[in-house]
Structure 1
């Protein structure tokens, strides 16, 4: 006789369990809203394997999904059991997985060649692939697939996320990040979540993170390019110390690029990261533009290729994207169903000698401020006298901190507050994040959530315009 509430099997209603039998090269596509969840198992005791975006599923192990639009593919055929009710679910027979596999094989041949070269030579550098395209064409999905296949091959790819509008890779939205992936990825979380001190079934990955603070590359294009340059220097330095990652190369995911406004940003990324392959999804026009910008020649090491978009790609509306971002920020501070975290409430005094709060400056405000400063320059000096660093961030006086910063994410930078100048703040990597709960203008202090106990480190703080204000409950 089982004690009430302890017999887990009694709580499962068999009427809610669906079974889907997939034939070889078929894909089970499903969508789950933020208000519900489903659990999927690769049926144990049957032949066949399955994978989710390049990462294999273990037989009989439950995988829980919420607020996602995803797909499970099988090369051999398999049987899946689904507990719960997806908002959308169907089996697709036409997928681009064979093309993605062929791309992986081509990249792997280049990695083998790189591994055969002496570590200090240029030939030891593995392929560096850049994924670009318009919104909702599957760039991040392809990045996950290529990463998963590379890891299963025993490689150690360096994954770089330059998409600040998404949910973030191993960090919160509004950032760019880079991390070396040498162990299996999380089936449920994809690239994974922010590093935490709590136990984890998946080995923790420590990313390099820069806080950008805008939704698009155009909003703060000067700062965006500068952060890309800083990250490229750091990544290249790391690769010189890690021959496995150097041989494997880079997999770079990007924000949504079109044909009109992002050409200079793409060229900057290609140059800074020494890209060898540009893969375009979902835009014939962008593909031809890249061919013209990087024409094939014996002297050019850049290959421009076109990849098909999966039929499973769907348009994600603004509320859905916001729910993804909110969930990512909430998970950073509170954890999830598998691992609950308890953040600490900390008070920051504006009059403290270590208080150093900075704000990012958008391109429009930067240009207007620059023109104003030029008009006040002494006779004989031109705009070259102005510091470019002051155009991307500005320090806030205590009187400038008001309620507009409530429900915003604040980055704790690695630069000390006492040493913080515009240049240091504009180029500093991130130590961690805070969440502003309340700003008390009268008492000149603000109350923040912190993932660690104790006082906030005496570091420079940086607040942006993205992600927009949210409520964590």
Structure 2
């Protein structure tokens, strides 16, 4: 372990990579030169406090002097980075935007639409990081891209078990990431697409359809900004089918395949010819994350939803709900045998069927999504307007206590998520 203050002098096109330990914060300061983190410029002489378990990479195109205060579990300076490759990808995306703007101006017809870029590859190759870099570089170019996150396990827009979209009009905060305030979020309810493949594909199609509404398409800046779409790390079997479904649902123009030759070959065969495929190396700074680390990240994500961060604290409320005043739902049921169906009848898709639940102690410590819809059949198709966490169940008094970021719930229709969280905040 390394303690106290350390100074690092970075040369041109080099990167300081470090990991914060599990207990103490680490403070970073740019003393001299230019540096950025995942595409966000670092302000000189400003102290940035990274919480425990952070994985950080600070890059410079020119040179930089950086100081670290505190204890890190590992650190090194890398001279071999893929950042120039990433910049070239950004430049190619921007060229497409400019070409489409010129075409629209010459034809005088319609609003120009930017490219839709899908990032694919196995787990732990840096898809989320590259998504953030491309969004940040786009904003610095004066664009407003739409960031779409389809990774239900390690989501960067909302809590685990969701997919969502966000118009990015300012660079991500160094510590807290993108501003999630106006995100469009759909509840999937599982931390892997394998929890319900049919529901996952249906949710992707619904999210993609929401990007074609008049409300969205009237936003010229978002249209020409295009989309940067992050995906899960499951690339085999049903996971591969989900990748193809994502490409089809969002009608992507460009697919960036990170560190996977076979996946690139398979997609070259299976995707339409107009889709441009690019190979991309992974950064040497990307580290494998075990299931324990992923679990901690999900826990931290849920915690930050209810309590915020050090720089942007949230003070949630404990709300008591009477069973009679709310309705609980679950999406997905077991498939019925054909013998149980009337002759000639086809069963409604069991993966997307919405069924009402009876409150029980089984839902203790589980997340519930707050549904926008008051029509049961549309709950599966509707975006959510927040989440609550069940903290207490009183079957005798027929009530439960939930943790909420609002004093009152915007809807009394709550949808079960197969994600539990123990609220031990004091």
TM-score range, shorter chain: over 0.9
Tell me if 1:437 matches 2:424.
no
On the 8 A contact 2:149/2:157 being kept in 1, the answer is no
Aligned length: 419
87, 94, 106: which is aligned to 1:101? 87
Greater Cα offset, 254-263 or 278-287: 254-263
Give the distance between the partners of 2:240 and 2:115, measured in 1 at CA. Answer: 22
Post-superposition shift, 1:123? 8.0
SS of the aligned residue for 2:396 comes to coil
Contact 1:32 1:88 in 2 (8 A): yes
Structure 1 residue aligned with 2:348: 387
2:40 equivalent in structure 1: 55
Q: Return the alpha-carbon distance in structure 1 between the equivalents of residues 401 and 67 of structure 2.
A: 46
Aligned residue in 2 for 1:211? 187
Structure number with bigger Rg: 1
In 2, Cα distance between the equivalents of 1:208 and 1:472? 28
Structure 2: how far apart are the matches of 1:246 and 1:101? 22
Does the alignment pair 1:140 with 2:128?
Answer: yes
Report the secondary structure of 2:386's partner residue. strand
Q: 1:121 to 1:310 in 2, by over 3 A?
A: farther
Contact 1:414 1:459 in 2 (8 A): no
Separation in 2 of the partners of 1:155 and 1:242?
12
Choose the corresponding residue for 1:396, options 345, 352, 356. Answer: 356
Write the distance in 1 (CA, Å) between the matches of 2:233 and 2:110: 31
State yes or no: 1:244 paired with 2:221. Answer: yes
Structure 2 alignment gaps of length 5 or more: none
Q: Which of 332, 338, 356 in structure 1 is aligned with 2:327?
A: 356
SS of the aligned residue for 2:269 comes to: helix
**Large movers: runs of 4+ above 6 Å:** none
In the alignment, the residues of structure 1 paired with residue 152 and residue 237 of structure 2 have an alpha-carbon distance, to the nearest angstrom, of 19
Q: Matched residues in 2 for 1:225 and 1:207: separation?
A: 20
Q: CA deviation at 1:116?
A: 2.0
Is 1:88 the counterpart of 2:74? The answer is: yes
Q: Post-superposition shift, 1:393? A: 4.2
Give yes or no for contact 2:372–2:385 (8 Å, CA) kept in 1: yes
Structure 2 residue 323 is matched with structure 1 residue 323? no
3-state SS of paired residue (1:415)? coil
Distance 2:274 2:56 in 1: 34
Structure 1-normalised TM-score?
A: 0.85
Establish whether residue 41 from structure 1 lines up as the match of residue 42 from structure 2.
Answer: no
**Retained in 2: the 8 A contact 1:343–1:449?**
yes
Give the conservation status (yes or no) of the 8 Å contact 1:348–1:445: yes
Shift of 1:121: 4.8
- The alignment partner of 2:211 has SS state of helix
SS at match of 1:134: coil
1:312 alignment partner, SS class:
coil
Q: 1:446 — aligned with what?
A: 400
| Counterpart residue number, 2:145 | 157
Aligned to 1:201: none
Look up the match of 1:280: 257
Give 1:103-118 correspondences, 5 Å limit: 103-118=89-104
So what's the TM-score if we normalise by structure 2?
0.94
1:375 — aligned with what?
339
Deviation string, structure 1 residues 370-420 (Cα, Å, up to 9, x no partner):
224x43323x333x2x323x542443343xx2222111111101112xxx3
**Equivalent in the alignment of 1:347:** 320
Which SS does the other structure have where 1:79 is aligned? strand
Which structure 1 residue ranges, 5 or more long, are not aligned? Answer: 1-14, 196-205
Check whether the contact 1:132–1:257 (CA below 8 A) recurs between aligned residues: no
Shift of 1:21: 0.6
Relative distance call for 1:307 and 1:391 in structure 2 (3 A) is closer
**What is the deviation of 1:191?**
2.5
Residue 239 (structure 1) shift: 4.3
Aligned partners of 1:397 and 1:88: how far apart in 2?
48
| Structure 1 residue 122 displacement after superposition | 7.0
8 Å Cα contact 2:365/2:421 also seen in 1: yes
* Alignment CA distance shift 1:176-1:155 (3 Å): same
Instruction: Determine the C-alpha separation between the residues in 2 that align with 1:284 and 1:52.
Output: 28
SS at match of 1:465: strand
Any residues of structure 2 matched to 1:54-73 within 5 Å, and which? Answer: 54-66=39-51, 67-73=53-59
2:366 to 394, 408, 430: 408
Contact 2:389 2:402 in 1 (8 A): yes
1:232 to 203, 208, 220: 208
Asked whether the equivalents of residues 42 and 59 of structure 1 are also in contact (C-alpha less than 8 Å), the reply is yes
